[in-house]
């Protein structure tokens, strides 16, 4: 009898359900990780390199414990078929399943293969505090609005972190082929050294609790401040368990900041539930009333949005943060999403796909949910007539321009009065601060007031068209 522990986006030892159960089985166990070529090709080089570097760092961690993480590369079924020829006594497989998106389809396909070959499948929900089927309404259906969901979520018992002892397991090691290692290494980009490990995640969690948690509610919307947890890249690949995060925060002194952060964890569960309930929401709006919106999709505008050259400082600084770091502050994600969909009138799916390529913390459920929220096409979304004014948002959340200047140094000497709308500077002032609009910094590519009117008209037209049909 031989078992396989299949790691995926759960690159940790502690608080790991599938791993704990594999150890408890007391069967000789091989730890494996499979790289999917198609998935890797979807990622931007920074995202890709960060992901691969994190897997290799986890492999090194296991190696220090005397465990070889066997790496596979290529088509999923081909990889497992080849592994089956090497493990003649393979009887069980353990993994933490995905409930939605690509991962769900992959797991269903893999489960069919395992069962066909007489391999017992042991799966666990380990990515969320509550799975999609745990908190449902009285009709047995998923909630469509966050507030009633959250009321139940708050009082629902939370599992405690699981202590995993590798020394209690029986481990089987196979040497990863050299050609696989070379192929995986070839996807890395030496310019990017982002790595998500449990040690780094633990340090970040402790820093957040000690230094930022109590004031989280007050500071989280200001990108110039270190007001957020910065845990999302670690949660994305499972370098730290969600139960570990929840209980560490819960054990901190009660504060409004603590309550606000825990509410964000509830949003994470909520968006997962929504994605499971609406599996086509990556490509289709949940609110069918807005399925007929006639997006402009100007390719030049979309490119300028990606490059941070729209002429609106808070939008441009945010897009440059994404470009340079692979991460973006959450308030800024809402601002740039609103700007793309309601100022530039570009399809929200274009933005969602771009974020998927760029973000080192990309989580499909949260990212899709966030984009549908901003575009007013999702469940419990912002009303279509509520359109963020990029100038007002900049003044409110980066009043002194500290964040803007960090990414747009050409605005360094622009007076605060003009910082969020530099095109209003008189020509002589532009010259004196060495920031000529149209040369050193972009002219606004659209007029927000006019675009707002067009956006509302397009949404209302789409609603009426659906009614008629």
Ligand-binding annotation for 58, yes or no, is: no
For residues 336 and 92, give the distance between their C-alpha atoms in angstroms, rounded to a whole number: 46
Q: Is 228 annotated as a binding residue?
A: yes
CA 328/CA 275 separation, integer angstroms: 22
What per-residue string of b and e applies to 273-289 under the rule 16 or more CB within 10 Å gives b?
bbbbbbeebbeebbbeb
CA distance 183 to 37: 10
* Residue 452 in marked binding region: no
- Cβ–Cβ under 8 Å, residues 22 and 95: no
Q: Judge whether 268 is annotated as a binding position.
A: yes
Indicate the DSSP class of residue 163: P
Active site residues: 264, 267, 295, 330, 348, 371
DSSP 392-454: HHHHHHSTT-HHHHHH-GGGTTS-TTTTTSGGGS-HHHHHHTT--BTTTBPPPSS-HHHHHHH
Of 87, 53, 55, the C-alpha closest to 71 is 55
Alpha-helical runs (H) found in 187-231: 198-207, 216-219
Distance CA 111, CA 94 (A): 11
Binding site annotation covers 397?
Answer: no
How many other C-beta atoms lie within 10 A of the C-beta of residue 348? 26
> Is 149 within any annotated ligand binding site?
no
Find out whether 257 and 121 touch, Cβ atoms under 8 Å. Answer: no
Cβ 10 vs Cβ 103: under 8 Å: no
Tokens read off for 363: 């989580």
Between the alpha carbon of residue 255 and those of residues 151, 184, 259, 405, the distances in Å are 18, 45, 6, 32
Q: 231 a known binding residue? A: yes
- Ligand-binding annotation for 229, yes or no, is yes
Q: Is 266 annotated as ligand-binding?
A: yes
Residue 75 labelled as part of a binding site: no
Q: Is there a binding annotation on residue 129?
A: no
Is 361 known as a binding-site position? Answer: yes
Structure tokens at 420: 């969020």
Known binding residues for FAD are 216, 228-232, 261, 264-271, 361-363
Known binding residues are 216, 228-232, 261, 264-271, 361-363
């Amino acid at each position: 009898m031989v078992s396989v522990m299949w790691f995926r986006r759960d690159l940790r030892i502690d608080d790991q359900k599938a791993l704990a159960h594999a150890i408890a089985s007391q069967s000789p166990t091989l730890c494996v990780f499979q790289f999917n070529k198609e998935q890797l090709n979807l990622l931007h080089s920074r995202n890709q390199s960060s992901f691969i570097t994190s897997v290799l760092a986890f492999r090194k961690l296991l190696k220090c414990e005397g465990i070889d993480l066997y790496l596979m590369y290529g088509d999923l079924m081909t990889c497992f078929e080849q592994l089956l020829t090497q493990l003649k006594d393979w009887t069980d497989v353990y993994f933490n399943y995905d409930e939605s998106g690509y991962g769900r389809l992959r797991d269903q396909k893999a489960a069919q293969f395992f069962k066909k070959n007489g391999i017992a499948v042991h799966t666990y929900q380990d990515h969320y505090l509550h799975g999609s089927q745990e908190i449902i309404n009285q009709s047995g259906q998923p909630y469509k609005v966050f507030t009633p969901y959250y009321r139940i979520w708050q009082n629902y018992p939370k599992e405690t972190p699981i202590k995993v002892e590798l020394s209690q397991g029986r481990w089987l090691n196979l040497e990863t082929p050299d050609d696989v290692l070379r192929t995986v290494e070839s996807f890395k980009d030496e310019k990017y050294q982002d790595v998500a490990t449990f040690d780094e995640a633990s340090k970040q969690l402790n820093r957040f609790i000690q230094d930022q948690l109590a004031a989280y509610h007050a500071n989280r919307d200001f990108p110039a401040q270190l007001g957020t947890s910065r845990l999302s890249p670690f949660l994305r690949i499972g370098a730290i368990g969600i139960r570990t995060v929840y209980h560490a925060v819960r054990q901190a002194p009660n504060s409004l900041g603590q309550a606000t952060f825990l509410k964000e964890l509830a949003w994470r569960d909520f968006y997962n539930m929504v994605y499971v309930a609406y599996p086509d929401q990556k490509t289709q709006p949940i609110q069918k009333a807005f399925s007929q919106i006639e997006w402009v999709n100007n390719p030049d505008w979309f490119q300028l949005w990606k490059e941070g050259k729209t002429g609106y400082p808070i939008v441009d600084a945010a897009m440059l943060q994404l470009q340079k770091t692979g991460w973006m502050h959450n308030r800024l994600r809402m601002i740039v999403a609103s700007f793309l969909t309601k100022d530039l009138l570009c399809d929200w799916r274009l933005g969602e796909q771009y974020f998927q390529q760029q973000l080192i913390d990309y989580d499909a459920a949260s990212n899709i949910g966030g984009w549908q929220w901003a575009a007013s096409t999702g469940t419990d979304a912002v009303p279509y007539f509520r359109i963020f004014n990029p100038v007002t948002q900049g003044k409110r959340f980066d009043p002194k321009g500290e964040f803007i200047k960090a990414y747009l140094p050409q605005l360094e000497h622009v007076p605060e009065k003009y910082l969020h709308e530099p095109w209003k500077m008189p020509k002589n002032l532009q010259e004196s601060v060495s920031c000529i609009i149209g040369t050193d910094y972009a002219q606004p590519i659209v007029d927000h007031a006019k675009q707002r009117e067009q956006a509302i008209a397009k949404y209302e037209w789409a609603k009426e068209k659906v009614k008629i049909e």
